[in-house]
């Protein structure tokens, strides 16, 4: 009877050992599967994190470039406004001098020399104004193509351009008057 109990105990021990080994193998397989899933999850997280950081860096660079372009455009617009104001002031002074000269019946040689100098200055300013208009148009085109948010500045520049065109027309009229005056003076002196 003791031998039989020992055999039964040995059988139970063998069954328990086999069952424990089977459970251990199942648990080890589950641990390996969980480790593999964790590894894949970590890799996906790192890849997503890297891609997100790259997009963030790219967006940040684009934002900095856009801000720099906006600042540059604003500075250029301010410079062009100042140049336009200076040219308008010179044009007004020139117009006043020409009116003064046109108001007199007789012209002296120094007056004619002054009129000629003013005419040359007006022609030079007109070409300078045209150069600035062309440069402004180029800046507007680049800004408009790259940064549509700067549309308001483009509208303001268009307004300035129309003012410059109007001043150019006035300038051409003044140049025509000066030429007419010179022809009249030349004809009267002959």
Residue 189 has pLDDT above 80, yes or no: no
**Model pLDDT for residues 80-99, shown as the tens digit of each residue:** 888 888 887 877 777 677 66
Virtual CA dihedral for 71, 75, 76, 80, nearest 10 degrees? 150
At residue 79, does pLDDT exceed 50?
yes
Question: In sequence order, what are the residues at sequence separation of 6 or more whose Cβ sits closer than 8 angstroms to the Cβ of residue 156?
Answer: 77
Q: 80-84, 94-98, 147-151, 177-181: which has the minimum mean pLDDT?
A: 147-151
159 close to 117: Cβ distance less than 8 angstroms: no
Residue 63 has pLDDT above 50, yes or no: yes
d(CA 169, CA 25) in angstroms, rounded, equals 96
DSSP assignment letter at 181? H
Domains of the chain by residue range: 2-189
Rounded Cα distance between 114 and 101, Å, is 9
Residue 106, pLDDT score: 47
Residue 121, both tokens: 């200055």
Q: Which two tokens mark 165?
A: 């065109």
23-57 pLDDT, tens digit per residue, is 999 999 999 999 999 899 888 888 888 888 888 88
Backbone angles phi, psi at 75, to 5 degrees: -65, -45
Q: What count of Cα atoms within 13 Å lies in the side-chain half-sphere of residue 135?
A: 12
């Amino acid at each position: 009877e003791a031998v039989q109990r020992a055999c039964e105990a040995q059988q139970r021990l063998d069954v328990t050992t086999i069952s424990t080994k089977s459970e251990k193998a199942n648990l080890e397989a589950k641990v390996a599967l969980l480790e593999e899933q964790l590894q894949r999850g970590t890799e996906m997280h790192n890849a997503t994190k890297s891609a997100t950081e790259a997009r963030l860096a790219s967006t940040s660079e684009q934002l900095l470039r856009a801000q720099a372009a906006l600042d540059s455009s604003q500075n250029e617009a301010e410079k062009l406004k100042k140049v336009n104001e200076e040219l308008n002031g010179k044009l007004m002074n020139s117009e006043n001098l020409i009116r003064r000269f046109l108001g007199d019946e007789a012209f002296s040689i120094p007056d004619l020399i002054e009129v000629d100098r003013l005419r040359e200055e007006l022609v030079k300013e007109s070409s300078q104004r045209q150069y600035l208009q062309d440069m402004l148009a180029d800046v507007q085109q680049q800004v408009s193509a790259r940064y549509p948010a700067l549309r308001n500045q483009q509208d303001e520049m268009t307004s300035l351009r129309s003012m410059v065109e109007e001043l150019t027309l006035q300038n051409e009229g003044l140049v025509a008057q000066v030429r007419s005056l010179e022809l009249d003076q030349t004809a009267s002196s002959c």
